[in-house]
């Protein structure tokens, strides 16, 4: 570790000039290619953001914001400070560090949000220890604005498990404005090799202090060494409240304090009332938070578009009402959609999840995607309830998930999966064909399950389940069939399956027991009849007994799947929402037992021939 001398050029002498900061967010990478065992972020980073990679011994003027726009913001250290990367998130590092060491930086990029960049988290500055604080100043800030400071510190074997970050009112560091503590290492002494990889600390709504400067201080929680790897300085965007009735989003008189249309902006709909209102925008709008807290039912519509984007995570928050977004929507930042149990949200126009972006759902309310959903590479989306989409496209390296619960159905009128569609313990309905066999490979939906199942651990691309009881096992799995193959009556009539109306041409996918050829959530004589018929006729496909998706129905499907599972199966899966509206096959208990025993006996005799 090297310690720099006292920084010069910081303080009142550094305040020449004036002007407001233009940046919405400025990113600091502590350590660069010129610092001891350091590395610079290559701009732009994987998220398209630009960084200021700084080292000790220099005073930095006109820092750039995340869009590479110069600002009036200046920066410099005012105390001795160490710099290094050794025992940081990458562990042991060299002089200079190698690309492999930088790539080995162990962080949870999604959890860290905008700071989740390996080169930024790789190295750090630290207070020298011995009760000596590390201090720096962020100068030339806009006195009319407030700022959020988000800190990430990480180090293995730290003497002090936490680092305390503080803001003071002036360069005497005697009057505290705000302070917080962050564990940079696991506080358990037996796990001192476990560095912080997923947690940040934010000091919020901080006004510039004396001379429009933020006076920042950090030290270990027991007055020993403290660590700081990277920092985000973000302008606080005031919440924007809708006060109009139905009208144009872009008319300033409709908002209480300005039109929300910027990265990180908040659009708030909290007006009292109980009416239906339409808010239109014929141009593109961007917000970081879209919050509905009103019994008014709003429809956001028009010829424009909506982008959800923030310097951290974006949020759609529906606390009341039945709300509707009728604009093409792009998720450009990780976004949580929270819908309270008394509320609903309809996304009625095409939705796009950008590359590397995650969209999650929380709350007991319902989110309905009524148009197409497209997930780009390395992106992900989670459906928290049953949905009927016009189309779902999951690009290569992307993921779409239907959250577990054994009570949900995803209906997709069109379906393209190059990445992974994880049904967990739920169901899928689609008109896309069930598929046929070509050699040992299936086409259609069966082919997507076959490729997703891979060697049995569901690690491939395609349609998968991540349920633990299906991993490396045939006890539970995904079954697939054309509706008319498992419910013949649907060839001429409709049926209800998990709350959805199906016809004979629909393809059905269900998380069920291995051997459940009829997709009714259990293994019984009906399934043995199907596999017996399949093997005698030389058929293929799940509904004919190919339970291991190897392209054929043979003894393996008996011995390792249906025979192995029939005595071990639990309660029927999905029975509260299975088939209805069709005539079921009578299954009196005694007769079933006799038929089932007969079927199993027949199977065993066949194998001995």
Q: What is the pLDDT of residue 461?
A: 98
More confident residue, 411 or 602: 411
Distance CA 98, CA 85 (A): 12
More confident residue, 609 or 517: 517
**Do residues 123 and 69 lie in contact, with contact meaning Cβ atoms separated by under 8 Å?**
no
β-pair partners for 480: 509
Neighbours of 272 (CB within 10 A): 7
Name the nearest CA neighbour of 396 among 460, 342, 441: 460
Q: What is the pLDDT of residue 488?
A: 77
- What percent of the chain shows pLDDT beyond 90? 81
Q: Which 3 state secondary structure label does DSSP give 221? A: coil
Banded pLDDT at 192 (limits 50, 70, 90)? confident
Distance CA 488, CA 498 (A): 17
**Do residues 443 and 436 lie in contact, with contact meaning Cβ atoms separated by under 8 Å?**
yes
Tokens of 392: 């779902």
Phi, psi for 525 (deg, rounded to 5): -60, -30
Q: Which 3 state secondary structure label does DSSP give 310? A: coil
Banded pLDDT at 509 (limits 50, 70, 90)? very high
Alpha carbon 471 to chain centroid, angstroms = 22
Distance CA 458, CA 446 (A): 14
pLDDT at 584 exceeding the cut of 90: no
Question: How long is the chain?
Answer: 609
Q: What is the pLDDT of residue 236?
A: 85
DSSP string, 345-397: EEE-S-EEE-TT-EEEEESSSEEEE-SEEEE-TT-EEEE-S-EEESEEEE-TT
Distance CA 227, CA 481 (A): 57
Distance CA 211, CA 20 (A): 12
Q: Omega before 266 cis (within 30°)?
A: no
Q: What is the pLDDT of residue 24?
A: 81
Q: Quick one: average pLDDT of 330-345?
A: 96
Banded pLDDT at 389 (limits 50, 70, 90)? very high
Q: Which 3 state secondary structure label does DSSP give 545? A: coil
Q: Quick one: average pLDDT of 403-412?
A: 93
Q: Omega before 561 cis (within 30°)?
A: no
Q: Quick one: average pLDDT of 194-203?
A: 95
Distance CA 400, CA 175 (A): 50
DSSP string, 128-177: -BTTBPEEEEEES--TT--EEEEEE---TT-SSSEEEEEEESSTT--SEE
Q: Order of strands, edge to edge, in the sheet holding 230-235?
A: 52-54, 25-30, 230-235, 147-152, 201-206
With a CB cutoff of 8 Å and minimum separation 6, the contacts of 93 are: 37, 85, 86, 101, 122
Mean pLDDT of the chain: 89
β-pair partners for 478: 511
Banded pLDDT at 257 (limits 50, 70, 90)? confident
Banded pLDDT at 594 (limits 50, 70, 90)? very low
Angle between helices 589-607 and 525-537 (to 10 degrees): 30
Tokens 């999905």, located at residue: 574
pLDDT at 593 exceeding the cut of 70: no
Question: What count of Cα atoms within 13 Å lies in the side-chain half-sphere of residue 520?
Answer: 16
β-pair partners for 374: 352, 393
Tokens 């404005």, located at residue: 177
Q: What is the pLDDT of residue 238?
A: 62
Rama region for 519: left / alpha / beta (φ>0; ψ in -120 to 50; rest)? left
pLDDT digits (tens, 9 = 90+) for 208-242: 999 999 999 999 999 999 999 999 999 987 656 99
Name the nearest CA neighbour of 566 among 484, 503, 475: 475
DSSP string, 2-68: EEEPPPPS-SGGGG-S------SEEEEEE--TTSTT--PPPSS-TTS---EEE-TT--B-S-B-TTS
With a CB cutoff of 8 Å and minimum separation 6, the contacts of 428 are: 402, 409, 410, 411, 412, 421, 445, 463, 507, 508, 509, 510
Q: What is the pLDDT of residue 406?
A: 82
User: Residue 497: in which H helix or E strand, if any?
Assistant: strand 495-497
- What percent of the chain shows pLDDT beyond 70? 90
DSSP string, 36-54: TT--PPPSS-TTS---EEE
Q: Quick one: average pLDDT of 480-503?
A: 86
Q: What is the pLDDT of residue 199?
A: 95
| Fold of the domain built from segment(s) 2-235 | Jelly Rolls (2.60.120)
Tokens of 1: 């570790």
β-pair partners for 358: 380
Handedness of CA 510, 511, 513, 514 (dihedral sign): positive
Q: What is the pLDDT of residue 330?
A: 98
With a CB cutoff of 8 Å and minimum separation 6, the contacts of 99 are: none
pLDDT at 490 exceeding the cut of 80: no
Q: Which 3 state secondary structure label does DSSP give 500? A: strand
Q: Which string of b and e fits 415-430 if b means at least 16 CB within 10 Å?
A: bebebbbbbbbbbbbb
Tokens of 609: 């021939």
Return the domain boundaries, the chain.
Answer: 2-235
pLDDT at 606 exceeding the cut of 90: no
pLDDT at 391 exceeding the cut of 80: yes
pLDDT digits (tens, 9 = 90+) for 260-306: 999 999 999 998 888 999 999 999 999 999 999 999 999 999 999 99
Tokens of 199: 């947690």
DSSP 8-state code for residue 91: B
DSSP string, 456-490: TT--SSEEE---GGGTT-SSEEEEEEEHHHH-GGG
Q: What is the pLDDT of residue 556?
A: 96
């Amino acid at each position: 570790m090297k310690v720099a001398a006292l920084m010069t050029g910081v303080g009142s002498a550094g305040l020449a000039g004036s002007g407001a900061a233009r940046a919405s967010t400025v990113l600091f990478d502590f350590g660069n290619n010129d610092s001891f065992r350091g590395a610079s972020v290559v701009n732009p980073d994987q998220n398209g953001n630009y960084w200021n990679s700084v080292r000790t011994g220099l005073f930095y003027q006109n820092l750039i914001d995340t869009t590479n726009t110069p600002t009036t913001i200046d920066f410099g250290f005012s105390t001795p400070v160490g710099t290094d990367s050794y025992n940081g998130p990458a562990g042991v590092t060299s002089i200079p560090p190698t690309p492999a060491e930088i790539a080995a930086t162990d962080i949870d990029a999604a959890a860290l949000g905008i700071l989740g960049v390996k080169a930024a988290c790789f190295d750090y500055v630290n207070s020298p220890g011995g009760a000596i604080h590390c201090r720096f100043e962020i100068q030339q800030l806009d006195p009319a604005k407030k700022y959020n400071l988000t800190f990430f510190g990480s180090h293995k074997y730290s003497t002090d498990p936490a680092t305390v970050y503080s803001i003071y009112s002036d360069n005497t560091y005697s009057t505290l404005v705000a302070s917080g503590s962050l564990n940079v290492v696991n506080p358990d002494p037996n796990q001192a090799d476990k560095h912080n990889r997923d947690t940040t600390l934010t000091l919020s709504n901080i006004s510039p202090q004396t001379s429009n400067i933020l006076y920042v201080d950090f030290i270990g929680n027991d007055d020993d060494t403290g660590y700081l790897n990277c920092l985000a300085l973000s302008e606080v965007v005031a919440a924007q409240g809708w006060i109009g009735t139905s009208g144009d989003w872009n008319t300033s008189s409709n908002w209480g304090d300005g039109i929300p249309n910027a990265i990180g902006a908040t659009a708030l709909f909290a007006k009292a009332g109980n009416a239906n209102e339409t808010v239109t925008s014929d141009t593109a709008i961007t917000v970081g938070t879209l919050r509905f807290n009103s019994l008014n039912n709003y429809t956001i519509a028009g010829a424009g578009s909506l982008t959800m984007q923030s310097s951290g995570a974006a949020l759609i928050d529906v606390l009341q009402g039945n709300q509707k977004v009728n604009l093409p929507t792009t998720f450009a930042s990780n976004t949580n959609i929270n819908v309270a149990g008394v509320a609903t949200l309809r996304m009625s126009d095409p939705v796009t999840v950008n590359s590397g972006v995650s969209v999650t759902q929380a709350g007991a309310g319902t989110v309905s995607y009524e148009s197409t959903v497209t997930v780009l590479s390395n992106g992900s989306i989670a459906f928290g309830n049953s949905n009927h989409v016009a189309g779902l496209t999951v690009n290569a390296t992307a993921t779409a998930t239907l959250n577990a619960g054994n009570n949900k159905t995803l209906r997709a009128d069109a379906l393209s999966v190059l990445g992974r569609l994880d049904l967990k313990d739920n169901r899928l309905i689609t008109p896309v064909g069930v598929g046929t066999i070509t050699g040992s490979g299936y086409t259609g939906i069966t082919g997507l399950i076959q490729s997703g199942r891979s060697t049995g651990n569901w690690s491939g691309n395609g349609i998968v389940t991540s349920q633990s009881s299906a991993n490396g096992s045939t006890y539970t799995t995904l079954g697939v069939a054309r509706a008319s193959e498992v419910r013949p009556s649907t060839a001429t009539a409709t049926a209800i399956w998990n709350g959805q109306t199906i016809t004979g041409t629909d393809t059905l996918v269900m998380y069920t027991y291995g051997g459940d050829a009829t997709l009714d959530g259990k293994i019984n004589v009906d399934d043995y009849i199907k596999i017996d018929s399949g093997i005698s006729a030389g058929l293929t496909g799940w509904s004919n007994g190919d339970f291991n998706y190897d392209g054929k129905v043979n003894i393996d499907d008996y011995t390792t799947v249906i025979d192995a599972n029939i005595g071990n199966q639990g309660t029927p899966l999905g029975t509260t929402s299975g088939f209805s509206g069709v005539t079921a096959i009578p299954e009196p208990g005694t007769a079933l037992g006799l038929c089932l025993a007969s079927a199993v006996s027949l199977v065993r005799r066949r194998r001995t021939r």
